[in-house]
Every structure is written in C-alpha cells, then in structure tokens.
Structure 1
Amino acid sequence: MQMGLLLDADGLPLDYGLFPGNVNDMSTMLPMMSKARLRDLGGERVVVVADKGLNTSANIAAATLGGNGFVFSQSVRKARGGLKEWVLDPEGYAASPSGDFRVKSRVADKPVYVEGPGGGRRRVLVPVREVAFWSRDYFERSRAERAKVVEKSRAAIERGDMSGVVSRSAARYARDRPVVRATGEAADHNWVLDEARIARDEAMDGYCCIVTSEQEWTEREVIEAYRGLSRIGESFRVLKSTLDARPVYVWTEPHIRAHFLVCYVALLVMRLMQLDVERSTGSRPSAGAVAEALRNMTGHHLDSNVWLFDYRTDLTDALCEAVGVDLSRRVMTKAQMNAVMSAVKKPRS
C-alpha cells in the first residue's frame, strides 16, 4: 500500500489517496488531481509542485488543463535536446556573493506527447521556463554519497561477488570486461571499476534543473516553490514515526483505509496546531515537540475533587493560546476542568 498526499503552500494537507504498493508513482498524480478537482478548492488556479518522478507528458498535460500550472524537477542525467549541455555550461550563471550558489534560467519549449483524436500519440510543445542551479551543499552531499557507492563497488570487485543484489546496487560502478579465450571456451568475467561512469556522474554533482509553466515567476520563486517539496517528505516522516502510520497491524481493506484515514486526520490536526503556534510566536515547532507536549499535559489526582497539572512550557502555553483555553493553573477542580472542556468544544470563529 502507498499513499499520495496533497499539501497547500502552508504545508496543510488538502487530500490523500491510497494505491496498491506495486503501482508506479508517475501514474498516481492524475487520480489525485481528479479527486482534488471534485473538492471545493475555492476555484483558484493550482500550481502542482512535484519531483522528477512525476515529470511525464500525461502529468504535464493534466497540470496545464484548465489554466493550471506545474513546477517539476527535471533529471539532468537523462535530459535531451541540449538541456544537459546547457545546465552544465558555466556560461550565464549568476553566483551568490559567497560562491556557494549559482543560478540561470531560460524560456524554452518542452515537447510532450499526448493522445490524439484517433488514439495515436502526437507531439505538443509546451512553453516553459527552465531554471538551472548549482548548490555547494548539494554538491558535497552528492560527492559523499558517491564515495560510499564507489567503495562498495571496489569491495565487491575484490570479493568477486557480482551476483544478485550486489551487481544491481552495491556494484553500480563495477564494469564487466570479458576476457575472451583463444581456445573458444566461455569468456572469463574481469570486473573493473568504471572510471568513465564515475567521471560522468561527478560532472553533474551539485546541479539541479526545474521546469515550470510559470514563466513570469522569478528564479527565486521557482526554486522556493520546489524546495517546498521538503514538506511532503517531512509529512510522511511524521505519519510513519510520530503518528505510527507504519507498520499497519490490520489486513482487510476497510480496516486499512480506516487506519490511514485516522492518520490523515491526525496529521491535519497536527499541522493546524503547528501553524497556529507559528502565527503567534513566529516559530513553527516540530511535530515531535507538539506530540511530546500534549503527551505530558496530564493531570495527577490529588484528592476527590482536586487535580495537579505540573507540566508547563512555552510550547504548551502557545498551544493553549492558539485554541483559546487557559491551562496555566497548576491545581484545578473538576468544575474548573469542565469549564475548560466546554470552552474547547465551542466552535472557533
């Protein structure tokens, strides 16, 4: 089972969908967009932001249908039509004062392939803005990750273990150079480190490309919109850890759907609390901090009608202020607690 999640610009969940675990990610966007259009989103223009896994012709066509837009990551390694050369060309980049960031952009036509009236595919050019940037942080992270893979490839070559999973993952940079025997027997496998592939991948370290329908946006606006995708990853981490969405201990479809519905509602409530605290304090607490604060806000029974609340922090004060309740008293009676609960149940204006 996999989950598709839609967030708004503030990181608030808008909707979700469940798909079988063997469904390709690129095919989940259209059902999610169709579902979102059935809901009342205020009739506003929607700009879909997604990673390169969803950068397909069908998704671009769907995103632009009805006057909507898109911001998609574009693979540099697999780019065609001179895009890779343009991204890697140092000409045209504007560098930050520190030199840790460089960016450039251009207007271009992106070819997409859509279903024609007769059922065949036809090529359509979509006007887009391409934004390329180089980041030192991204560069260093890519180099560090590659060093680990290169070391695994070198170790696999030394062991001579190139079968199964090893040859597909750990030995990514191992190349088979068969040795043909003059006797006509089967060639021996002579695995060596693929230095050429390593060099090709290193040349792209630190570079990223974004393609968008929003030609009027500045380079900064496009990059900031794309960086907002981190909220999606963070939301899934919250679902899996803080809200215990995984592992799932039920197995019938109705129970599985009910489980994820509860998790989705809990995520929405969590995000609303974080947003309220951010608006009042200027700082957004983590989901883990909010969960810990709520977990510790418990009362200890002192007497038949008296309870002690001895856990109070700046975060608990901000949470109480956000919902308009006063839990500043350390000792409360049942009547006082009932009054607080009554205030909580009243609709917020």
Structure 2
Amino acid sequence: MKTTKRENKSGTVRYLHLAHNEWDPAKGRAVPKVLFTFGREDQLDRDAVKRLVASLSKLLEPGDALVATAASDLEFVSSVPIGGTHVLDHLWRRLKIDQIVARVGQPKRGRPRDMTTTERVLFALVANRALAPSSKLAAADWITNDVHIDGLPEIGEQPCYRAMDWLHEVTDDLEKQVFDSVATLLNLEVDLLFFDTTSTYFELAEPDDPVARDDAGRPLHHSEAGGDTNHSGFRAYGKSKDSRDDLPQIVIGMAVTRDGIPVRCWCWPGNASDSTVIRQVKDEMRDWTLAKIVWVTDRGFSCAANRRYLRQGDHAYIIGEKLRSGSSEVTAALSRQGRYTEIAENMRVKEVRISDTDRFVICHNPEAAQRDKHMREQLVAHLQELIADTDTLSEFKRGEVRGKIAGKPGLNRYLRATPAGKLRLDQARIKTEENLDGKYLLRCSDPHLSAEDIALGYKQLLEVERGWRDMKQIIDLRPVYHRLEERIRAHVVLCWLALLLIRIIETRTDTTWPRTRRELQRLHVGTFTGPTGTFQQVTSLTKPQRDLLAKLGIPHPKQVLDLQPTPR
C-alpha cells in the first residue's frame, strides 16, 4: 500500500494506492508503479476492502490465509472444540445437577472438599464419556488440552479419582434427586418402568477375592458379617451376556421410562442372577414414593417368586414368557383358539384367559413369522444333508455325527434318533415350531390394561436394549480401567449420567447423538495472544448448529469468552 498527500483548501488529504515496485535501470533504483487507486483515506469503502481480502484468501491454504490476514502483532495459539461441552453443560445445569452436588454435601469422612471444583470435575468426566470416552488418566489430559469446559481450564488425574470416590459415597441420594429433577423438567410418565440387566467383563486372570456381602451385593463390614452371610468377589464368574464366560464380570441393571430416559442404575457381583436382583430393584424404587408402576421385564425374570414380589402393593408387571418352557400355562395359552386383532402394521394380538391372577396375550408378527420359517427351512435342509448317508455308517461313526450335531442347538432341535440308533428329522418338532413362528407370549397382572397396551408396552422394552447398546458402543462402558470396587461402581454411575444427558438431547432434537455430536464438535474456540493480552473467541455458528441449539432451547455461546489483559 502506498500513501500520497495533497494539499487543498481544507488541509492535507491522504490518498491510498495499490503499488508494485519495479526496477528502473535508468535511475538505478526501484520505482513504485501504481496499479489501483482506492481514493481518499477518509472516504475508504472498508467493506469493499474486506470482500477483496476474503476473495484473495481463497487462493491460500487455511493456515496461510489466517497468518496472512491476521495482524502482525496477533498470534494464534490454539483451538479446541466447545460445542459438545456447551450443550451438555447447559443441560447439566438445567437439570440442576450442579445444585444437587452442592446439596448432597461434604464426604462422610476425610477432609472437607471444595464442592465447586468437585462438581466441575464430575461434569467433565460425564462429558468425557459422552464425547471422547477414555480412561481417567486420558480424560484428565483431554480436559486440560483437547476441550473447553467452563470453569475447569485444567485438571490432574488424582482430582478425578477423588471426585469418583465422593460420587460413590453419595450415589443413592444423588440418583434420587436427579430423578426428581428430570421428572419435573421433562414431565416424565413413570407408569411403565422397563428393567433389564447386562454384564461387562474384565480382562483378568483371576476373579476378586470373596468378601461378605448383603442381599444387595454390597460389601459388609467385618462386624456386620454373620455365619450365613453371602461371600463373593465383585468381579466374579457368571453367565455372561457378552459370551465371555471365561472372564470375571459384574452385572449391571437399568430402569428406563417409556421414552427411553434412564432413571436409575445398579451394580451387582458377576454371579448375581436375574431372578434375585429384581426384588432389590423393586424395593429401592418403592422408596422413591412413586405412583403405581407396571414393571416390564423380559423372560429372565418370569419365575413365580419374582411375579409374586412384583405384584405386591399397588404394582403390576408385564413379563415375557418362554414359548419352549413346556409349562402347563404356556401350553394351555398356545392351544386356545381365538381370533387375532390387528393393532399395528406388523402386529396382531390375541388374549386368552387361563388364570385367575394373570392375563396371557399372544403376539404375532407376520414378517417375523416369514423370517422364522426361512431360517427353519435352511436349518432343516442343512440337517438333512448331514444325516443323509448315516444309515450306511457304523454305530460309532453315527455317534460321532450325532455328537457333532448336538453341539449346535439350532440343528439338534430338529433331530431324533430311532430305537435302532438311526438319525432322522423330528417331523413332530418341526410341526410344533411352525406353530410358534413370529409369536411371543406375554403375562400381565394388571386387570385394566388392554391387550394392545400390553403388547405395545412390552415392545418398548427395546428402549432398555438400546440403552445397553449405546452404553457399550457410544459411551464405552467397557473397558473399565479400575481395580477398586468403589471406583467401578462410580464409573457405571458416570456412564448412566452421560446416557441421561444423551437421551434428553435425542428426545428434544429427534436426532441421534453421534450425528449431533459430530455437528457440535465442529464449533471451536480459538485462543489468540498479542501485545495487549490474550483472548478466546468462538467460531461462527453454522445453520445446523443454530438449529440444534434452538431445538434444545440453549443460548448461543458468547463470541468472546475470555479477556486477559497483559499486566502493566
């Protein structure tokens, strides 16, 4: 840029030019050649200059364009995502979890705690599970270097562990108060509560040493343990739902509403059975003074003792029944004649009465029936191929074939052996299975629910399964980088809180969390420094980001977050 001056009646006037220096051989020096004149300096069209600079910047790489357009005395320091934590933090405060943490108070033992810092650390750990799941050591580094969290510029590993230890002490009170806050904010319907369990395994050579435990699976003090007290390690061998019976595990339970909002979670030793944990769950939810609840569970909780327990008080249940259990009630329900009623495009229901206390509803899905038929035909054809020439084999060889088939339950179901030891298709069993195609049986103790409500209510049990899927695939419940039982339990609570925030976001935006997370994490805050100090500025919002914030009712982040003038 070249500036020239000219005197007129009003004084000195400055003119701006775009010039290029060219070598003049005659003069022996560089001479500026004017390429374009911008006019008087006091009448400069600055908007036009900005458009020109922006147009020229498109010819450069983004980093080079930033350096070229930034002031020579302003330095770009760093940039980290802010969109995800901005949204999660506002929901965290809207649910008043920050106030709940402060109300729950100081730990029962140990030195007093700074509850403001504890609350910020807990939020940061929950945000880490939702945005970038990692170990607590990696989470501390992520909080310090890779994300912007309001009120927590940096943190070490030990404060994270101390916050988790405090969380374990106050879990019961915190869960109750968080539920009350969520129920008020979202106007939750808790007439139906869906409950299910899962397991998560640990890469250990040996399970934990057995310790005395109460009926809820919590460790007992030596003075509380009696002679008939149950002894078990927390990470213990059990029936794995991840097909890893060879590794120690823990059992985790979760209750969700019909909208998929998780209201509470539990942890038990790895050898706990589904048929016993449901009683503890009902007792602890009763302490929350809820109105009438209809418990919806799958087939693992259908024993008579559990049904009696769930029916106590003003509660009821909807439980799936095992079609192949062989019980007299199931056989009688399936043998009753009657017409199905269409309740949805792919759902028909038929209610049968065979008990004074329970109602049975048979549900039939025509599409699922076609899939079951196709799978059975494939299995039968494969089995027919395996036994086709076995009549010519010796008894020993036929025994080998039968042993091989016995290890495949899907095939062994349709196999029978004649008195002479010949292998044949079990046509009676095939006919029985045809009658079960696309069907499932429900048992309900509520006399007022319609058959349609019972069927649709049980279908919503998929919300719990979706919760477990997100826990393991999005929040990364496993691997668990902890050895102490208290911290393993606290880790599960952190995952539950993260899932709670995610479900609220999905409910309000009608968008999956992975898609929302990708869009929000594109919103960054950049740090700049110069002679006068340091400041942080947020990038401009895109239309998808503005739409997400509008649906959630969350204000836009401030454009300038922090100003730190250089000390004089």
Deviation at 1:239, TM superposition (A): 0.1
In structure 2, the CA distance between the partners of 1:151 and 1:170, relative to structure 1 (3 Å rule), is farther
**Are the equivalent residues in 2 in contact too, given 1:107–1:127 (CA < 8 A)?**
no
**Identical aligned residues as a percent:** 19
In structure 2, the CA distance between the partners of 1:155 and 1:19, relative to structure 1 (3 Å rule), is farther
Spell out, residue by residue over 1:279-335, the C-alpha distance to the aligned partner (whole angstroms, 9 max, x if none). xxxxx32233333334333334567535353563546633455253114x8xx2224
In structure 2, the CA distance between the partners of 1:176 and 1:310, relative to structure 1 (3 Å rule), is farther
**Aligned residue type for 2:295:** V
Deviation at 1:44, TM superposition (A): 0.7
Which segment drifts farther, 258-267 or 158-167? 158-167
Deviation at 1:68, TM superposition (A): 0.8
TM-score (normalised: structure 2): 0.47
In structure 2, the CA distance between the partners of 1:90 and 1:47, relative to structure 1 (3 Å rule), is same
The separation in 1 between residues aligned to 2:463 and 2:545, in whole angstroms, is 21
Which segment drifts farther, 145-154 or 28-37? 145-154
**1:167 aligned partner:** 407
**Are the equivalent residues in 2 in contact too, given 1:60–1:70 (CA < 8 A)?**
yes
Please state if 1:22 is matched with 2:271.
yes
Spell out, residue by residue over 1:202-261, the C-alpha distance to the aligned partner (whole angstroms, 9 max, x if none). 221112221112221122211111111010000000000000002323333223212212
Deviation at 1:107, TM superposition (A): 4.1
> What secondary structure does 1:273 align onto?
helix
Alignment of 1:154-303 (within 5 A): 163=403, 167-169=407-409, 171-173=411-413, 175=415, 177=417, 190-277=422-509, 284-301=510-527
Alignment of 1:46-195 (within 5 A): 46-78=293-325, 80-81=327-328, 83-95=330-342, 100-109=346-355, 127-147=357-377, 149-150=379-380, 153=383, 163=403, 167-169=407-409, 171-173=411-413, 175=415, 177=417, 190-195=422-427
**2:561 aligned partner:** 334
In structure 2, the CA distance between the partners of 1:13 and 1:94, relative to structure 1 (3 Å rule), is closer
In structure 2, the CA distance between the partners of 1:243 and 1:107, relative to structure 1 (3 Å rule), is same
The separation in 1 between residues aligned to 2:489 and 2:426, in whole angstroms, is 47
- The structure with the largest alpha-carbon Rg is 2
**1:12 aligned partner:** 261
**2:537 aligned partner:** 307
The separation in 1 between residues aligned to 2:488 and 2:367, in whole angstroms, is 40
In structure 2, stretches of 5+ residues that fail to align are 1-249, 391-399, 564-568
Deviation at 1:48, TM superposition (A): 0.3
**Are the equivalent residues in 2 in contact too, given 1:299–1:310 (CA < 8 A)?**
no
The separation in 1 between residues aligned to 2:378 and 2:272, in whole angstroms, is 30
**Aligned residue type for 1:3:** I
TM-score (normalised: structure 1): 0.73
The separation in 2 between residues aligned to 1:12 and 1:318, in whole angstroms, is 20
Deviation at 1:131, TM superposition (A): 1.6
**Are the equivalent residues in 1 in contact too, given 2:524–2:539 (CA < 8 A)?**
yes
**Are the equivalent residues in 1 in contact too, given 2:536–2:562 (CA < 8 A)?**
no
> What secondary structure does 2:521 align onto?
helix
In structure 2, the CA distance between the partners of 1:291 and 1:25, relative to structure 1 (3 Å rule), is farther
In structure 2, the CA distance between the partners of 1:319 and 1:213, relative to structure 1 (3 Å rule), is farther
In structure 1, stretches of 5+ residues that fail to align are 110-125, 181-188, 278-283, 337-349
In structure 2, the CA distance between the partners of 1:155 and 1:89, relative to structure 1 (3 Å rule), is same
Deviation at 1:139, TM superposition (A): 1.2
Deviation at 1:85, TM superposition (A): 4.7
**Aligned residue type for 1:326:** H
Greater relative contact order: 1 or 2 (C-alpha under 8 angstroms, separation 6 or more)?
2
> What secondary structure does 1:260 align onto?
helix
**Are the equivalent residues in 2 in contact too, given 1:149–1:172 (CA < 8 A)?**
no
Which segment drifts farther, 191-200 or 82-91? 82-91
In structure 2, the CA distance between the partners of 1:56 and 1:132, relative to structure 1 (3 Å rule), is same
In structure 2, the CA distance between the partners of 1:219 and 1:192, relative to structure 1 (3 Å rule), is same
> What secondary structure does 1:67 align onto?
coil
